[in-house]
A and B are shown apart, each in its own frame.
Chain A
Amino acid sequence: MDSFLLQILNGLDKGGAYALIALGLTLIFGTLGVVNFAHGALFMLGAFCAVSLQKLLTLSVKVKDESITFFEAYKEVPYLEQWFGQTGTTIIEYSVPLSILFSIPIMLAIGLIMERGLIKHFYKRTHAEQILVTFGLAIVLQEIIKACFGANPIPQTPPEFLTGSANLGAWLGMGDNLVYPWWRLVYLAFAGMLISAVFAFLNYTTFGMVVRAGMQDRETVELLGINIDRRFTIVFGLAAVVTGLAGVMYTPILPPDYHIGMDFLVLSFVVVVVGGMGSLRGAVAAGFLLGILQSFASMNAVKSILPGIDQIIIYLVAVIILLVRPRGLMGRKGVMEA
C-alpha cells in the first residue's frame, strides 16, 4: 500500500511538469493554431533563468581568508554576503523561489518576441512548415544556451528547510516507509496552483472570455471589433511564462542541461495528443495520467513481468489512444482533423 501511494506521488510530480508544459503547448495551439516545436526550448529557457539568477547572486569577490594565518589565503565571498551579511546569504539560499519572480518578465518578453518576430509569419503556412521552423528555432536556442552555460548539468539547490524529506507516512498514520522529498511536494502544489490560476484567468476574466471566444470562432470575434491578434499574442506570452515557470521549479529535481528541452518536448507532444489537441483540461489530465502510469511502469514488480515497459509506456499509451480515440481523451471535434 505504501509503495503504491509512493508511486502515485512520484508520478504526480513528474505529471505536474508534463501537465504544465502541455498546458502551455495547448494554449498556443488552441489560440494560434501553431504547432510549436520550440516549446521544449521555452521550458529549458525557464530552467536557465533560474541558473542565471543563481550565478548572478553568487557573483563573488576574492577576499583574504582570516581564519588561516600561516600563509596568504583567499576565499571567494559573494558580493551579496559581503554587503548584507546574513541577509545576503539568505537571499542566495532562496535563489530558486526568487527566480520565479525573475523569470516571469523574461519569459513573457521571450514569448512576445517569438510570436511577433517569427510565429506571426507562419499562421498561413502548413503545419509541416510550422513544425520545421520551430524545430530550427529550438536547435538555435539550445545551442546558444550550450555556448553560454556549457554542456554539463548545473545542479540547483532549494532553500535549506525544503531539502529534506517529508515523512508523509507518519502524518497519515501508515508507518514510516512513506517518505517523500519536500521540494517535490512543493512542486506539486506549485503546479496545481499555476494550473488553477490559468484556468481561473481564462474562465473568470473578461480577457479570458474573449480569448475563449476567439478559440471557438476567431472570425466572429474579429467581426465584433475585437483585436483578437493582440490578445492571442499575449496568450502566447502567458504560455511561455507557464512553461518557463515549470522549468524554473523543476531545476532542483533535475539539474538542467542544454538538451532538457528536447527531452521534454517529445513527451509533452505525446501528452497533448493523448489529452486531445486543443483541449486544456485534456492536456492537464493526460499530463498527470501519463506521469502516474510512467512511475507505475518503473516499479520492479511490473518490470519483471514486462521488461522494458518503463521505457515505452508513454509512447505505447499514445499509440493506443490515437488508434482507439483519434481525438484524444477530451479532444474537440474539428480540431486538426485534416
Chain B
Amino acid sequence: MTKQPTARNDLLLMAVFTLAILTMPIWAAPFGAGYPDLLQKFAIYGLFAVGFNILFGLTGYLSFGHAAFLGVGSYTAVWSFKLLSMNVIPAVIFGMMTSGLFALLIGYVSLRRSGIYFSILTLAFAQMSYNLAYSVLTPITNGETGLQLAIGDARILDNMFASEAATAIPATNLFGIEMSGYPGFYFCAALLIIGFYIALRITRSPLGTILKAIKSNQNRMNYTGLNTRPYTLTAFVISGMYAGLAGCLLAVTDPLAGAERMQWTASGEVVLMTILGGVGTLLGPVLGAGIIKYFENIFSSYNDQVLHGIFAFLPDPIENVLVAITGLFVGDGWHLTLGALFMVIVIFLPGGVIEGFTRLYSWVRAKVKQDAGGNSVNNGKSQPQSAE
C-alpha cells in the first residue's frame, strides 16, 4: 500500500529540496565538492535527469536519443550569444523553443512505435543528428572544433546599447551579473528548483496519472477509447525541453558547444543517472545525477600517486597490488567503475538509491517495532513499502 501524497507532504518536499539545493555550496564542501564548476554540473545534469524521468519514469518509454536535445539546446544557446546578446535569458528561451520543436518532430515519428522499436528510433535520430553535426552541418555547428564565441560576433542587441566595440569576448551574463562561479550555480539551481516543481506538478496532475496508466497498461488505455499518443507526445516534448534547457545551461556556464554532447553514450549517461537514483521517483534522478557527476569528478582526478599515498600505511607488496587493482577503476578507468556500478544497480537494486533508502527505512522500522513490541500482533505484518 503506497501512501497517498498529500499537498502538505509535497510542500514539505519542495521546501526541503529548495533548501538542500541552495545550501549545497555549504554542505558539499566537506565532501570536496564545494566549488562552483562541479555544483553547476550537479544542477544541470539534475535538470536533465528530471526531464528524462518525465518520459521514462512516467510513461516507461526508454529514449536512447535524449542527448540530441541537449546538443540542440547548446548550439542554440551559443548562437543566441553570438547573434543576439550575451544575456542568458534569450539563450534559455530560444534553446528551449528549438529543442522543443526538435522533440516534437522526433517524438511525432518515434512515438508511433513502442518498446524497443521506440528506443531504436530515438537512437537512430540522435545518431543522425550527431553525424550531421559532424559533417554537413559544419557551417552551423563548426564540426569537430565545436561552436565558439568570437570577438567579431554580431551580438545585435548588445551592440545596440554598447557605446564602443568590445575588445575581448564578453562573458555570459544575466543583466550584468556574470554567469561564472557561484552566480552561475545559483542561476542553474534556480532553474533546477523551478524544473523540479514543474515535474512535481506534472506527476500529481491528471496528465501524470494518464502517463502512469500508459506505463502500466497501454492496451487497456487504448481499449477504453483514450488516444494515448498526444499524451506521450506531450511528455516527450516536455522532457526534450528539459534536455534543451540543460544544454543551454551547459553553454551558459561554458559557452562552447560540441557535437560529442549528442553522442549516444551521452544519452546512455542520463539513463544511468535516472536508473541509479530511482526511475519514476521525483528525487531519484537528481540524486543519481549528483552521485555520478561527483564520483566522475573525484575518481577521474585520482592517479597512481594519490593511490600510493592512500595505501602508504600498508607493507610495500600489498600496497603495490592494491594500487594496481584500484588503479584500473580510477583516473582514465572511471568508465569501468561506471559500467560496473550500472550493472550492480540494475541487478540488485532496480529501484535505484531511493528504493535502497525505502528498504532500509522499512527494515529499521520493523526492527524498532520488533524490539519495542516484543510479540505484538503487528509483528511480521509490516509490508515493504514500494517507492512511490
Contact = CB atoms under 8 A, between A and B. Distances in A.
Interface in A129-167: 129, 131-133, 135-140, 142-144, 146-147
B271 A322 contact: no
A5 to B, nearest CB: 27
A326 interface: yes
B26 interface: no
Given A129-B350, A143-B336, A308-B136, A319 B62 contact: no
B120 A133 contact: no
Question: Which has the most chain A C-beta neighbours within 10 Å: B128, B136, B346, B347?
Answer: B346
A266 B127 contact: yes
Given A128-B60, A319-B121, A140 B336 contact: yes
A322 B113 CA distance: 8
B128 A312 contact: yes
A79 interface: no
Interface string A314-338: 0110110011001000000000111
Nearest to A306: B136
B339 A132 contact: no
Contacts of B343: 118, 133, 136-137, 140
Contacts, number: 111
Contacts of B134: 311
Given A132-B275, A136-B346, A326-B113, A318 B120 contact: yes
Contact of A319 (B116, B119, B124, B264): B124
A326 B128 CA distance: 20
A133 B121 contact: no
Nearest to B114: A338
Contacts of B128: 311-312, 315-316
Contacts of B116: 35, 127, 131, 273, 277, 336
Nearest to A259: B265
Interface in B322-369: 328, 332-333, 335-336, 338-343, 346-347, 350
A270 interface: yes
Interface residues of B, number: 43
B182 to A, nearest CB: 34
A129 B115 CA distance: 12
B336 A315 contact: no
B306 interface: no
Nearest to A315: B124
A307 interface: yes
B56 to A, nearest CB: 8
B271 A132 contact: yes
A262 interface: yes
Contacts of B179: none
Contact of A336 (B115, B124, B137, B268): B115
Nearest to B347: A133
A121 interface: yes
B135 interface: yes
Interface in B186-230: none
Contacts of A232: none
Contacts of B132: 308, 311-312
A250 interface: no
B303 interface: no
A269 interface: yes
Interface residues of A, number: 41
Given A133-B347, A136-B343, A308-B135, A322 B120 contact: yes
A80 to B, nearest CB: 30
B123 interface: yes
Contacts of A262: 265
B131 interface: yes
Nearest to A310: B135
A129 B264 CA distance: 18
A275 B152 CA distance: 51
Contacts of A127: 115-116
A124 to B, nearest CB: 12
A319 B111 CA distance: 12
A28 to B, nearest CB: 13
B125 interface: yes
B310 interface: no
A277 B128 CA distance: 22
B115 A143 contact: no
B339 A139 contact: yes
B62 A128 contact: yes
A133 B109 contact: no
B117 interface: yes
B336 A132 contact: no
B342 A132 contact: yes
A116 to B, nearest CB: 14
Interface string A33-66: 0010000000000000000000000000000000
Contacts of B333: 143, 146-147
Contact of A136 (B136, B328, B340): B340
Nearest to B340: A140
A307 to B, nearest CB: 5
B121 A322 contact: yes
Contacts of A133: 342-343, 346-347
The listed residue with most B CB atoms (<10 A of its CB), out of A140, A270, A323, is A140
A125 B341 CA distance: 19
Given A143-B339, A147-B328, A336 B117 contact: yes
B344 to A, nearest CB: 8
A262 B130 CA distance: 15
A144 B137 CA distance: 35
A319 B123 CA distance: 10
A127 B115 CA distance: 8
Contact of A270 (B120, B271, B339, B340): B120
Most buried by B among A35, A127, A131, A277: A131
B3 to A, nearest CB: 25
The 5 A-B pairs of least Cβ separation, nearest first, read A139-B339, A308-B136, A136-B342, A143-B336, A311-B131
5 contacts: A125-B350, A135-B342, A137-B343, A140-B343, A323-B113
